[in-house]
Amino acid sequence: MSRGVLVTGASRGIGRAVALAFARAGDRVAVHYGSSRSDAAATLAALPGEGHALVTGDVTDPVAAQRIADHAEESLGGVDVLVNNAAAGTALDNRHVIPEVSYADWQRAWRETFDVNVFGAANVTYCVARHLIARGAAGRIVNIGSRGAFRGEPDHPAYGASKAALHALGQSLAVSLAPHGIAVASVAPGFTATDRVAGRLTGESGAALRAQSPFGRVAEPEEVAAAVLYLASADATWASGAILDLNGASHLRS
């Protein structure tokens, strides 16, 4: 049966791959974007099937987060699956190492990262979950976390901490939402080859990144999408609360 799926941050990269995977499985997808309308429109145009929608809004704004959830709920005839993919990632321009940044820049990095990766995800999740509970419908929530939550992000500590918080949020909600038939799980990808980080995969830096895995490469967005599709499936109910590592054995945790 076709489901309604909201994917936040679906303009490019992992979000686009996730949206495509659900559409290919026959689901109706709400493609969310914050500012890249042209990229989001390209994602929407690439989706097979019918009933898809474009949804916009700034997840860091609590009012906008509610509107995102409401718009997706109305456009799809109900959101059955939420994928929290929108994120403030790691880049040279948001690097924040204590000996090298001002106190103001340090605070800014933490605030901006947590606003998207934690508070934004929490607010969209709340609004989608309330719709599911009101409909008496079972649902799935999958969070896109990160290997950095466990391995550490020395150049971007706010990012690593935010993804650890997102994993913890998912596990707390897995317990509290289970009585309502809502399963919650997370994936923790390692470095993934998206357009946004293409420049980091060239030269010596690219070789070093690929060498982190014994497979000698980094992940493809479609590999992350395949895991998300599984965790959102009926067969994965018993995986609720899980954090699935997707890092090609580049980091092993006990």
Looking at the domain assignment, is residue 251 inside a domain? no
Looking at the domain assignment, is residue 194 inside a domain? yes
Neighbours of 213 (CB within 10 A): 17
Looking at the domain assignment, is residue 254 inside a domain? no
96 is written with which tokens?
Answer: 């924040």
CB within 8 Å of 37: residues ≥ 6 apart: 54, 56
Residue 159: active-site member: yes
- C-alpha of 53 from chain center: 18
Task: Tell me what the pLDDT averaged over the chain comes to.
Answer: 97
Q: Give the CATH number of the domain where residue 135 resides.
A: 3.40.50.720
Looking at the domain assignment, is residue 167 inside a domain? yes
Whether the full predicted model's pTM is greater than 0.75, yes or no, is yes
Facing residues of 81 across strands?
5, 140
Distances (CA, A) of 85 to 146, 162, 249, 251: 11, 13, 22, 21
pLDDT, one tens digit per residue, over 48-104 is 999 999 999 999 999 999 999 999 999 999 999 999 999 999 988 899 999 999 999
Structural domain of 222: 4-246
- State the burial class of residue 252 (Cβ atoms within 10 Å of its Cβ: 0-12, 13-18, 19+): exposed
Looking at the domain assignment, is residue 151 inside a domain? yes
Query: What's the number of domains the chain is made of?
Result: 1
63 is written with which tokens?
Answer: 């009012």
Looking at the domain assignment, is residue 252 inside a domain? no
Looking at the domain assignment, is residue 253 inside a domain? no
pLDDT, one tens digit per residue, over 199-239 is 888 999 999 999 999 999 999 999 999 999 999 999 999 99
Looking at the domain assignment, is residue 112 inside a domain? yes
Neighbours of 124 (CB within 10 A): 27
Which of the residues 33, 103, 126, 159 is marked catalytic?
A: 159
